[in-house]
């Protein structure tokens, strides 16, 4: 069996509001930064590999010049938002030791991809994976699932996909992959035997 993991809120925490609240005490500023950055079309374009980190910053600052300093502050330390979830990470070597394949499939942009791969050794446990920025497609588009399956010659029926978003799980199921809605690391345990 092949285990396929989403990254955000499965392997690492991705909680933009908490990140912003730790940075700013002003709740209005938190709301503005959340809307201007994390809920913007540009964030999606970065995930799709259509826009660089620096290009997005330029757009954000031109759109809201009065918040330029805050935007720069958020974007210059944005990698800090991604902190490992220990209970899930602890399962990865056990999955490998049991003889299962181990892959990742995530909507993430290039700068964050590079940061995660360079700074978190557990990615070396994976047999491979697909980042949205590399295939110019984000979940729940069928293309990203097919990219993973075709790149590694996987049989969809022999794959389990763990994601925290229902629409992404449903999209995997449409491609013949068994989808499991990730809530905690405990939801992986029944499949590890």
Structure confidence by residue, pLDDT tens digits, 53-93: 999 999 999 999 999 999 999 999 999 999 999 999 999 99
Which ranges of 24-141 does DSSP label H, i.e. alpha helix? 27-33, 41-47, 53-63, 68-76, 86-97, 110-119, 132-135
- Give pLDDT, residue 40: 96
**Residue 42: Cβ within 10 Å count:** 21
pLDDT tens, the chain, 193 aa long:
999 999 999 999 999 999 999 999 999 999 999 999 999 999 999 999 999 999 999 999 999 999 999 999 999 999 999 999 999 999 999 999 999 999 999 999 999 999 999 999 999 999 999 999 999 999 999 999 999 999 999 999 999 999 999 999 999 999 999 999 999 999 999 998 7
In the chain, which residues fall in CATH 3.40.50.1000?
2-13+82-191
Q: State the fold for domain 2-13+82-191.
A: Rossmann fold (3.40.50)
Nearest to 140 by CA among 174, 103, 89: 174
- 8, 131 in Cβ contact below 8 A? no
Overall pTM surpassing 0.85 (yes/no)? yes
* Token representation of residue 105: 């499939």
Cβ-Cβ contacts under 8 Å for 192 (sequence gap 6 or more): 91, 94, 95, 98, 100
| Torsion angles phi and psi, residue 44, rounded to 5 | -65, -40
- The whole-angstrom separation of Cα 38 and Cα 41 is 9
């Amino acid at each position: 069996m092949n285990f396929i993991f989403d990254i955000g809120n499965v392997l690492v925490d991705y909680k933009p509001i908490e990140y912003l609240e730790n940075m700013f005490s002003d709740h209005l500023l938190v709301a503005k930064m959340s809307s201007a950055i994390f809920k913007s079309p540009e964030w999606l374009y970065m995930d799709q590999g259509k826009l660089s980190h620096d290009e997005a910053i330029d757009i954000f600052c031109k759109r809201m010049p009065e918040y330029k300093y805050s935007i720069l502050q958020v974007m210059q330390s944005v990698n800090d938002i991604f902190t490992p979830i220990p209970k899930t990470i602890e399962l990865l070597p056990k999955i490998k030791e049991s003889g299962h394949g181990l892959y990742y499939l995530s909507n993430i942009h290039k700068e964050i991809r590079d940061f995660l791969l360079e700074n978190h050794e557990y990615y070396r446990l994976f047999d491979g994976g697909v980042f949205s920025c590399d295939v110019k497609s984000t979940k729940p588009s069928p293309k990203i699932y097919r990219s993973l399956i075709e790149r590694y010659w996987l049989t969809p029926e022999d794959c389990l996909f763990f994601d925290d978003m229902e629409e992404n799980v449903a999209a995997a199921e449409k491609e013949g992959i068994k989808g499991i809605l990730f809530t905690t690391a405990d939801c992986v345990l029944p499949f590890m035997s």
